[in-house]
């Protein structure tokens, strides 16, 4: 039986979320699976990956084949590197302490890289909000200035009174409206 680690889609239209599952290769995409080992949300920036790394590593070491997308996710999380280092330990190329040290060093550098991206995104959002607020303030000031100038023009213009025509006795002067 061929076992694959792949994604199973869930969520509604245009708001997809995925479960990372271990399933028989013959089972349908959203059908029967052996074990759910995590979730993946591609709609967030950066994409959210919640994964049980130890279970994924267990299945990889037992021969499960990841799909292309899941392989990229596992590489991102360091599970593929851990598998590579563990195979080196099994073959005798390195010892377990060296493998653990290399993995820890890689994880530390990866975490700083991810945190840097989060910081950059946060700073970009804050800068955009600040720029938007400044633009709104300029528009507001321009409107206030236009209203002030208009009020000055109206106040400075002399008010001309139009004389009311004298109507013959008994008639009321018309204002242009018909009764």
pLDDT in tens, 36-78: 999 999 998 888 999 999 999 999 999 999 999 999 999 999 9
- The model's confidence at residue 155, banded by pLDDT at 50, 70 and 90, is confident
Query: What CA–CA distances, in Å, run from 72 to 15, 23, 64, 159?
Result: 21, 18, 15, 78
pLDDT at 166: 58
Q: Please identify, in words, the CATH class of the domain defined by 3-94.
A: alpha beta
pLDDT at 47: 87
**Is the preceding omega at residue 46 within 30 degrees of 0, hence cis?**
yes
pLDDT at residue 179 tops 60 = no
In this prediction the pTM is: 0.66
- Quote the mean pLDDT of the chain: 87
CA 146/CA 140 separation, integer angstroms: 10
- The model's confidence at residue 150, banded by pLDDT at 50, 70 and 90, is confident
pLDDT at 51: 93
CA 7/CA 56 separation, integer angstroms: 13
């Amino acid at each position: 039986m061929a076992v694959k680690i792949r994604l199973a889609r869930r969520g509604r239209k245009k708001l997809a979320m995925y479960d990372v599952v271990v399933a028989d290769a013959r089972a349908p995409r959203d059908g029967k699976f052996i074990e759910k080992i995590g979730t993946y949300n591609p709609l967030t920036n950066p994409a959210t990956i919640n994964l049980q790394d130890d279970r994924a590593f267990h299945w990889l070491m037992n021969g499960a084949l990841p799909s292309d997308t899941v392989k990229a996710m596992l590489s991102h999380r360091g599970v593929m590197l851990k598998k590579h280092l563990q195979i080196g330990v099994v073959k005798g190329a390195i010892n377990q302490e060296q493998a653990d040290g290399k993995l820890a060093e890689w994880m530390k550098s990866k975490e700083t890289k991810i945190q840097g991206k989060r910081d950059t995104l946060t700073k970009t959002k804050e800068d955009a909000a600040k720029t938007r607020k400044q633009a709104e303030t300029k528009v507001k000031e321009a409107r206030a200035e236009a209203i002030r100038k208009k009020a000055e023009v109206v106040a400075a213009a002399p008010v001309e009174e139009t004389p009311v025509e004298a109507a013959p006795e008994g008639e009321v002067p018309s204002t242009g409206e018909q009764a």
